[in-house]
Amino acid sequence: MSPKKIVAASDKAGLLALDVSKLMIKNRAGSVVLVDGREKPIGIVTERDLLKKVSASNKLPEDIAAKNIMSSPVVTIKAYDSIEIAVALMAKNRIKRLGVVEQNGTLAGVLSTDDIARKLVRILADDYNRYGHLKAMLDL
């Protein structure tokens, strides 16, 4: 999960597509998770949702409710699930972002393919630094 602030919004106040895009810009985020009154995810709006669904509707973003363009239900994993489970779910559902929830179902964060790639790069760099000296032995 990225250490960034979770960008989530309640749909109670009739959130619009324009509001969601402003939240994304303000927080430099690629998605906004819509949550219910108990902080449980009910949908996610991504940059792609905004581009495809708003432009296809022939309406202005201030005329479209966020709930009409959100992807729902949110595909989620538990906070304790492994990266392997996350990657498998992303591949199966052909998505780039997963909601991460606590045991009680409340939103804990969002995990993206970029987050996973950054973590793998760090792991590979650490392994190279730790075992790089063995390369000379393999070149014999």
**Contact predicate 54/16, CB 8 Å:** no
Q: Does 28 have pLDDT greater than 60? A: yes
Look up tokens 């992807």; give the residue.
Answer: 71
Task: Please give the pLDDT value at position 5.
Answer: 75
Task: Please give the pLDDT value at position 140.
Answer: 55
For residues 91 and 5, the model is more confident at 91
Q: Does 2 have pLDDT greater than 50? A: no
Look up tokens 């905004």; give the residue.
Answer: 50
Structure token digits, residue 95: 């998505």
pLDDT tens digits along 29-57: 999 999 998 899 999 999 999 999 998 88
What is the arithmetic mean of pLDDT over 8-35? 91
Q: In what order do the strands lie in the sheet with 97-101?
A: 76-78, 97-101, 107-112
Residue 138 CA to residue 140 CA, distance in Å, equals 5
Domains parsed from the chain with CATH numbers: 8-138 (3.10.580.10)
Task: Please give the pLDDT value at position 1.
Answer: 47
| DSSP-derived secondary structure for 18-35 | HHHHHHHHHHT-SEEEEE
Sign, CA torsion 86/92/95/101: negative
CA distances from 61 to 17, 56, 64 (A): 5, 11, 5
136 band by pLDDT with thresholds 50, 70 and 90: low
